[in-house]
Each structure stands twice: as structure tokens, then as C-alpha cells.
A and B are shown apart, each in its own frame.
Chain A
Amino acid sequence: MPLLLELYLRFFYVGLFSVGGGLATLPFLREMGEKTQWFTPTQLSDLVAVSESTPGPMGINMATYVGYTTAGIPGSIVAVLGEIAPALVIIVLISRVLAKFRSNKYVDYAFYGLRAASTGLIAVSCLSVAQLALFKTDVFSATGNFFAAVNYWALALAAVIFVGLRVFKKVHPIVFIALGAAAGIAFHLVSGQ
């Protein structure tokens, strides 16, 4: 099988069976690495680090990276197209059905309930984002001391930015991300850490 076709099909499979976002694709990528020898487990964990340090959806970042290392630029494009194809078809179908039944009151009632569930799921993922940003998990597992593991500098920065968000509602989120990046660099230059 031509390499590009194989890439497309393997990522199509990942896109079809991973439910729940970028990190959910990880076990599938591990399996892919074992089967094809396209990348090692170490490369895969580097890949996660890169995906977390670059903008964009993580699943797409990982597909691009694997595609590129396997077959260059055409490979990265083919891998991404393969990964998004199943979702595109499924969501288009669902949104057709939704449009048809949107005015149905039972559909409306269902959304009343599932919106609350979705908010719960989003709130829990918010906790994991906060944990990653504000808490030194390695320090906590080494010392067991909760207060020693809090990253107070990051906590202060998050608090300042949160207040900024509430006060300057018209300012674009990109500005706050840029301010965060600048504060991070400035802090390390000043403190020398």
C-alpha cells in the first residue's frame, strides 16, 4: 500500500474511534507506533510536549507531526485530512438531524438536561488545566505537602489576569495570552530561575 494512503487510513481510524478530544487519540497513536515503527514511544512523548507547547487542537498537532516525520509535508496534510474526515461526516449528519428536530419540545427538554452535564464536564477539565498551570505535581508526590506544591507565582498571575478579564471585557483573549507569555519570560529573566 502506498505510504500516503496508509497514513490517511490509519489516521481515519484514529479519528473515527477516539472519542473525547485530543488526548483520547494518544492510546491509538501508541498502537500505531508499535504496528508501523513510524515512531518510538519516546518520540511520542516528545510529541505530546510539542503539541502542548504550540497553538491549535492537540489531536491535529500530533497528526501533523507524525505525518511529517513519516512522509514530509504531504504526509502531514494527508494525516490531518484523514483524522478530520470521520468527524466531518458524522457532525454534518447530526446537524442535519438537529436542524430538523430543533423545534421539537422534547429535543429542547433533552438539551436543557445535557447542557448542565456538558457544563459539568467542562468544569472538570478546567480543574485539570488549573492543576497543570498552578500546581507542581512532582513536588506534591515527593513531599506530600500541598502548600509547598502550589506555584504561587503562577497563581498570582492567573488571579491578576482573571481580574483583568472581568474588568476589561472588550479586550480580546489573545491579548491576555500574550501578556501571560511576556510575564513568564520577564519573570524568568528577572528571577534568573
Chain B
Amino acid sequence: MTELFRLFLAFAKIGGFTFGGGLAMLPMMQREIVEHHGWATENELIDYYAIGQCTPGIIAVNVATFIGTKRKGVIGGIFATLGVVTPSVIIITLIAVCIQNFQDVPAVQWAFSGIRPAVAALVLDAVLKIGKKSLTDVFTVLIFLAVAALSLFTSISPAVFVLVAGVLGILLKGGKQHAPSA
């Protein structure tokens, strides 16, 4: 199996089994991309999420394009992206063709009353894993707390947080250039 095909399949699996959008995709991405295939490190995944949140387009698609491009160039990006959207196109079209008012079917509502708590647990687990990698010292913890508080209580764009934090990173780390390790 060629890597392009593997990229397509892995992202189709991620797209086909994620409920609740880009963020809910994080646990699946960690499992498939970082742990199973080793296509990116946990830190790279966080970087891609950071950039994906402040560039146009759907976050899941942005992350898929990043990983695909990293592995196999532009064509890899296209395969990964098509992979992540293909299950949606098939499933939504089927639902639109076959089932009127899909969201009102009792069994669907019941299943979702259980899927939502499961997704909440999965996402919490994913955030803890990410925090362990990205919050390495007192500065990063402070940036984390400030961004979390500001984005809860203000409507400042995520792009602003990411840019300011990037500049802070350069100032903080660049300011202590004599420190032996980064």
C-alpha cells in the first residue's frame, strides 16, 4: 500500500468516526497520526492546531493538509484532505436522500445522549496530553491561563492570541539566550 493511500485511509477513518467537529478530532488524530503512524509528533500536532485556528478554513481540513504535505508534498496534502472530507460527503448525502429529519429519530437522539459525554471525556484526555507537552515551565503556564481566561470572557480573535503568544515566546526565550538549552 502506498503512503498516499495510507494517508487517505487514515484521514478517512478520522473523518468518519469523529463527532462534534475539529476539536473532537484531536483524540483520533493523536491515536492515528502520532501513536499509530508516527507521521508527526505531539508538539507538531499542537503547532498545526495553532496555525489551523488562525488561518481560513475548517480546522480539521487544515491539520490534514499540514500532515499530508509534510509527508508527501502537495499531492499528499490533497490525499489527506480528501480523506478527511470523504466520509462526510457520503454520510450526509445518504442521510439527505434517505432519512427526513434524521436528528429527530429517537434512536439517534438516545445514542447521542451517550456519545456527547464520551466525546467530552475523550477531549479532556486529549487536552491533558497536550498540556503535558506544551506547558513546560512557568511562562507557558501563564500564557495558557491568560489565553484561556481572555477567550472565555472576551471576544478577541484566536489569531490575536496565537500571534501575541508567538512574539512573547521569542522575547522570553530570546531574552535569555545565554541559557544553555532551549
Closest A residue to B87 by beta carbon equals A56
Task: Please encode chain B, from 40 to 77, with 1 for each CB lying within 8 Å of some chain A CB and 0 for all others.
Answer: 00010011011111111111111001100110001001
**Which applies to chain B's interface (DSSP): helix, strand, loop or mixed?**
helix
How distant is the Cα of A166 from the Cα of B62 in the complex, in angstroms?
Answer: 29
| With contact pairs A88-B81, A109-B170 given, residues A123 and B127 touching in the complex (Cβ less than 8 Å) | yes
Closest B residue to A59 by beta carbon equals B58
| With contact pairs A54-B95, A122-B26, A122-B49 given, residues A87 and B115 touching in the complex (Cβ less than 8 Å) | no
Checking B16, B97, B117, B157 against A55 with a beta-carbon cut-off of 8 angstroms, the contacting residue is B16
Residues of A within 8 A of B140 (CB): 112-113, 115-116
In angstroms, how far is the closest chain B Cβ from the Cβ of A103? 12
Checking A19, A54, A132, A181 against B88 with a beta-carbon cut-off of 8 angstroms, the contacting residue is A54
Q: Decide if B125 touches A119 in the complex (CB within 8 Å).
A: no
Checking B47, B55, B81 against A111 with a beta-carbon cut-off of 8 angstroms, the contacting residue is B47
Q: Decide if A129 touches B24 in the complex (CB within 8 Å).
A: yes
Total B residues in contact with A, Cβ cutoff 8 Å: 107
How distant is the Cα of A20 from the Cα of B151 in the complex, in angstroms?
Answer: 13
A22 lies within 8 A of chain B by Cβ: yes
How distant is the Cα of A50 from the Cα of B99 in the complex, in angstroms?
Answer: 11
How distant is the Cα of A90 from the Cα of B81 in the complex, in angstroms?
Answer: 13
Q: List chain A positions with a Cβ less than 8 A from chain B.
A: 15-23, 25, 46, 49-61, 64-65, 68-69, 73, 76-77, 80, 83-84, 86-88, 90-92, 94-95, 99, 105-106, 108-127, 129-130, 132-134, 154-155, 157-159, 161-162, 165-166, 172-174, 176-177, 179-185, 187-189
Q: List 16 A-B contacts (CB under 8 A).
A: A21-B22, A53-B108, A57-B22, A60-B61, A64-B89, A80-B89, A84-B81, A113-B170, A117-B166, A118-B47, A133-B116, A133-B119, A134-B120, A174-B28, A180-B118, A182-B111
Q: Which 10 A-B pairs have the closest CB atoms?
A: A113-B169, A184-B114, A87-B57, A180-B118, A120-B147, A56-B88, A117-B165, A118-B50, A133-B116, A109-B173
Q: List chain B positions with a Cβ less than 8 A from chain A.
A: 15-28, 31, 43, 46-47, 49-62, 65-66, 69-70, 74, 77-78, 81, 84-85, 87-89, 91-93, 95-97, 101-103, 106-108, 110-125, 127, 130-131, 133-135, 139-141, 143-148, 151-152, 157-159, 161-170, 172-174, 182
